[in-house]
Chains A and B, each alone.
Chain A
């Protein structure tokens, strides 16, 4: 199933996208995953609305700013911005189908950064392209072959892939 995190990972590693799509989660005791989890729970603690779960989506934060609805996605660093943007576009598009217009924000508390993501015609094309690509990956009967990359050493699947 396509989800926000499948789209995100498909920009980094096909194998990761396949595994996530098949509910084979990364090692939950991996130190980088634990840090990420901590940043998620400790940042923006005082915000009133937090985490909303919908099919294929786990929205970190949704709140109103003036007339606008903001969908916030908390990230540890700006390392995977391309994927984070797709993830937000996917959320924005899904909630638009439910008649809610919103703007996305990638929130990187550690870097004190906020990056706005807007769902316009061009980005919808981009999103659809990415969905098509991800669907192709996850419909494979087996996980795509492992490939060594610079991301492996900090990935929660490192020990799974390279054991």
Chain B
């Protein structure tokens, strides 16, 4: 009994010490004060130096939280019980969130820097007139490949992936929209196609790709390609940029048949407590120098026209990551297909995944 009591006291004391340390650290960081801004973003998707700069300039303390999928983020915001002031979802999710009334309309008068954004990235179908969202980063879906592992073979189109020589070399992303989109594009259809016959045709075409597929993976694909476990990967452009940073031999290509153009955008969810600071933050992120600094770190493509001259020309001149307007016009943004069509996409994708070798 004595031992139990001693032990309990020890645990309580240890907890008290921890509690004290946490509150001390929190107040040293300024988190416990009133003027805070909670940002909900993808993991490692912002340059923390920029955030610090924002804190110094405005006196607002930033709490940074991370999510790993649009769906998880939406669930948390939908359920309430959180106080996110800024979230950074992808375009199709923004469409959904607008429809479900989860976002606060932006006050454009408080965002004078909005003019820095390249006009081609404004007023897009998922958010006409940018009433709710401001572009944060954009990019494409394409193919990263390792020429030295392919005897110098060049890849330019989706259909090149069906080449018999590429046995067991391809890594796909575990995403129904991406993979089905690839198959649809390779057949010359739109990646927003909802015609059942076209979708079935795409699925059948995917089945014939199985011998070439090494694995259908999530974010591990980065490591597998880096370690030269596979020669070809279906990836987002930002992933490709990072990979090429590590290994200069790698090549990235946006297939000629067309592909997906995606956006991540800053929005203010309904749950926001500090709408004023949220606007301040969005405007701050649109400043040319800040956007440039952030882009340097994140290595995805910036939609900020004013930031372009401040970036390394080698990067902004790279048409693989900053494709010219002729190409971006050919690329398609994912549209919200509606629940039923999306379910059909998922079903076909699942069937394809289960299709044995």
Q: Do these two chains really belong together in a complex?
A: no
Residues of B participating in the A interface, judged by any CB pair closer than 8 Å:
none
Residues of A participating in the B interface, judged by any CB pair closer than 8 Å:
none
